[in-house]
Amino acid sequence: MAKEKHVHQYKKIKKSEIFRCIKPGCRHYLRKEFAIGAISICPRCGGTFQLNNRNMKLEMPHCADCTQRRNQSELEQIKEFMEKIS
């Protein structure tokens, strides 16, 4: 039976340095040292990104754009709050 080719979506196995693909039917595993530079699907936005040392510290690695968007929205909420109390 031929394997279906797809872009993997990685999740870190707890308390280890091994990542596994969470796509249904996929049994792909990858050690951290081999995962650097691999392409993955972002669980937040669905886009693709490249794994690096920074995002591989997370249990579910996601792209830098999603991290920045989250930080920006938090800053906007703080700014709005500060304007209300001023």
pTM > 0.85: no
Region 1-12 average pLDDT: 80
* Virtual torsion, Cα 30, 32, 34, 40, nearest 10 deg: 70
Contacts of 40 (CB under 8 A, 6+ apart): 7, 8, 9, 10, 48, 49, 50, 51, 61
- Indicate the range of 13-17, 29-33, 74-78, 81-85 predicted with least confidence: 74-78
Q: What are the beta bridge partners of residue 50? A: 39
Tokens for 2, please give them: 């031929």
pLDDT at 1 over 90: no
72/39: higher pLDDT? 39
> What Cα–Cα distance (Å) separates residue 83 from each residue in 26, 71, 74, 86?
49, 18, 14, 5
